[in-house]
A = this chain, B = another copy of it.
Amino acid sequence: MRTFLDCVPCFMRQALDAARMTTADEALQEEILRRVLRDASEMDMRLSPPAMGQRIHRLIRELTGNADPYREVKERTNRLALDLYPEIRERVREAADPVEMAVRMAIAGNIIDFGVPGRLHDEPLGRTMDRAATAPLHGDARSFADEAAAATSILYLADNAGEIVFDRVLIETLGPERVTLVVRGGPILNDALRQDAEAAGLAGLVEIVENGSDAPGTIIEDCTEELRSRFLAAGMVIAKGQGNYETLSNAPRPVWFILMAKCAVIARHVGCEPGSLVIRS
């Protein structure tokens, strides 16, 4: 997916939120914003929005000297989600269609996103889970379950810390033995790294692979050679979240996307209402 003009004000909002999250120094916040404005004035709109997100957050890390500004947030949301883990499992176990419910819970976890401006993530997670359990699902969870059951191998591209606990339940429901979990190669926003996958209890369950990139999505040409090969060879690819959708919606192979459509641009691209729960290939 390319960058749309509507993404531009949102980049500035994201840059400001991230700058404030990273430093209390207002002069530095202003410097970050000016650099992002200049960068954005020359950006290549054919690239996906996460390409700009990658630039913004590299700049913030460089200017503030903080290699991982969201470390604390990630640890907090991991703990928060782990507390909910028994409840998530229970909801899935009791559901008439456990795979569909696990997908719904994985989408509920997608609310934990510090890359989206506004206060989406201020809603208590329990309420988000209630909503996700019953709201209309945009897409075909039945086909997803069938494909997952038949797949010889599944490459699961994770999204955010905290959210990854919800992904764990979906992975456990699909059968973890065929799943390889992919995390980002370096800190970017609150996206999950290897240590977050470990904190979520996924280390003993699945193979964990880093993608080699610090983009808030999967810019495939920015990933390691190994990841690129696995991406093409996997029996099934599941990509979590908006950033992975934005970067892989035109991928040269089928990908199942599981996400909450958090902004009007994505919703229009998917063909659903903003806020919708989406599962689609």
Contacts and interface: CB of A to CB of B under 8 A. Distances in A.
Nearest to A12: B9
A30 B45 contact: yes
User: Interface of chain A, helix or strand or loop or mixed?
Assistant: helix
Contact of A8 (B10, B35, B37, B38): B37
A78 interface: no
Interface in A9-24: 9-10, 12-13, 16
Contacts of A40: 37
Contact of A38 (B13, B30, B37, B45): B37
Interface residues of A, number: 21
Interface string A17-56: 0000000001001100111011011100100000000000
Contacts of A13: 9
Q: How many copies does the complex hold?
A: 2
Given A38-B41, A41-B38, A16 B8 contact: yes
A96 interface: no
A110 to B, nearest CB: 23
A84 to B, nearest CB: 32
Contact of A16 (B6, B29, B34, B42): B6
Given A8-B12, A34-B42, 8 more contacts: A5-B16, A5-B26, A5-B29, A5-B33, A8-B33, A9-B12, A34-B41, A37-B40
Interface of A: 5-6, 8-10, 12-13, 16, 26, 29-30, 33-35, 37-38, 40-42, 45, 117
